[in-house]
Amino acid sequence: MTGAVLEASGITKRFPGVTALEGVAFAARAGEVHALMGENGAGKSTLIKVLTGVHPRDGGEVRVGGRPIRPRSPREAEAAGIATVYQEVNLIPDLSVAENICLGRQPGRAGFIAWGGVRRRARAALARLGLELDVDRILSACSIAVQQLVAVARALDVSARVLILDEPTSSLDEREVKELFAVIRKLRSEGMAVVFVTHFLDQVYGISDRITVLRNGRLVGEFPAAELPRLQLVSHMLGRPVGEIAAAARAPAPPPRAAQAPVLEVTGFGRRGTLHPVDLRVGAGEVLGLAGLLGSGRTELAELLFGVARADSGQMRVDGRAAEARSPAASLRRRFGFTPEDRKTQAILPNLTVRENVIVALQVRRGIWRRIPRSEQDRLTARFVQALGIKLSGPEQAIRNLSGGNQQKVILARWLATEPRLLILDEPTRGIDVGAQADLERLLAKLRAEGLALVFISSEIAELVRNSQRVVVLRDRSKVAELAGEQVSEEAVMQAIAEKP
């Protein structure tokens, strides 16, 4: 591939126990916007971190303008011409806009900073993006969008040839995205090579010239954006070829028509800046699937349902009676359960034992004073270790030392011990091995048969379709489709995800 400013080939990166990238090739060309796409665990962020020197690579080659580089820090990558703007603005919130642009390379005289020069240089850097800002403003007083643009200005203050934007739009509203895109177009027209990481399909098609898709640490392919239909892109990302969908992956039979009110029903339920209002209901003995790409609002919806974040619009009814999702504690009293997406930081209590991790939710429901007797704790733990096939050296082992799949089973056991009526499972099968995945699916079917109401979130469409009787599809933080019974199929779900608004 010639004409590429940035050229990476055969990139391999291993972490203890996982190969995050395997022989990945990537190229960014001058005057082009190149989108990097992939679901969770695809290796996008690892690739970015290798390119920008945050992680050292274990194999492969990176060239900028034909010259091989091996950056060991973001600073070295910058010196080589690779500038990066991250999702979370990596600037100093308490310093001024001007200072953030020049920090660490302030112009000076005799060891003293020349503040006039700092301001001039900042204004010039912003002008290059077509922006006019008060450079004396404290950064934290600016909107996230402006902070993002300041980060771009800082990145370009050195002579950058490649600009990497790592999910810059995930916390911006539409107008702010437009503003950012205008800047990107301007840079593209000046010959900058722009690498753009995002989850939003509309944005990808709105600005990219070229799309590279990664999946499970491997390169799926590089495509000109104009020649890649949306459905095709989604199928590349999810790894399910269109038209080759297994007939076996069929939704289970619909639940018996229940006379009683659904366990949980919400109408117009949402939160400003997080999720547009949605309606959904889930009844006893039913699995409701939530489909959507990363960033579609599926996790946000789950957190609102469980009360981790408070909804600011809409009503919730539990068993037909008006209720409020006030806090996880209130949801727990209602016999709801929730296994969050980020197991490591949101679910496990890493240094506590498996036993303690199992009983903690039940204990919270019983309150501080009614401690679960040790014998009952041991019984409960033993029962779930056996029922879920959790592999461990003993119940007093710290959960931190278990494999991901076994940790996930312990978290499930935590909620099952509370004998829940509704369980919200956010990506329960992510990062766990195939055997454990099959175990979990069997468990899901069994729980449903026992009359549990389940909300099931997964990026694996096949898995979602196999296990759900109804599927709600989310895109760009709103509900776009609801499929039931015969309508539930991989193709239909993918169509709904990929559809143009």
**Interface contacts to other proteins, rule CB under 8 A:** 16-17, 73-75, 78, 86, 89-95, 99, 103-104, 106, 108, 111-113, 115, 137-138, 140-144, 147, 154, 308, 327-332, 338, 340, 345-352, 356, 360-361, 363-372, 403, 414
Q: What is the 3-state secondary structure (H, E, C) of 342-405?
A: CHHHHHCCCCCEHHHHHHHHHHHHHCCCCCCCHHHHHHHHHHHHHHHCCCCCCCCCEHHHCCHH
Q: Which of 106, 495 has the CB closer to other proteins?
A: 106
Rounded Cα gap, residues 60 and 64, in angstroms: 14
- Least distance from other proteins to the Cβ atom of residue 93, Å: 6
Q: Which of 102, 233 has the CB closer to other proteins?
A: 102
Q: Which of 52, 468 has the CB closer to other proteins?
A: 52
19: CB partners within 8 A, 6+ apart: 12, 13, 217
Token output for 308: 């981790």
Token output for 491: 């193709």
110: CB partners within 8 A, 6+ apart: none
- Least distance from other proteins to the Cβ atom of residue 90, Å: 4
**Partners of 84 in the β-ladder:** 164
Rounded Cα gap, residues 321 and 499, in angstroms: 36
Q: Which of 286, 356 has the CB closer to other proteins?
A: 356
Q: Which of 26, 86 has the CB closer to other proteins?
A: 86
Q: Which of 90, 313 has the CB closer to other proteins?
A: 90
- Least distance from other proteins to the Cβ atom of residue 2, Å: 32
**Vertex 198 angle, CA 192 and 201, to 5°:** 110
18-29, strands of its sheet edge to edge: 18-29, 4-15, 59-64, 67-69
**Partners of 222 in the β-ladder:** 212
Q: Which of 18, 127 has the CB closer to other proteins?
A: 18
Within 158-289, where are the H helices?
174-189, 201-207, 230-238
Transcribe 292-329 into DSSP letters. Answer: --TTSSHHHHHHHHHTSS---EEEEEETTEEE----HH
- Least distance from other proteins to the Cβ atom of residue 197, Å: 17
- Least distance from other proteins to the Cβ atom of residue 230, Å: 34
Q: Which of 178, 371 has the CB closer to other proteins?
A: 371
- Least distance from other proteins to the Cβ atom of residue 360, Å: 6
- Least distance from other proteins to the Cβ atom of residue 115, Å: 8
- Least distance from other proteins to the Cβ atom of residue 329, Å: 4
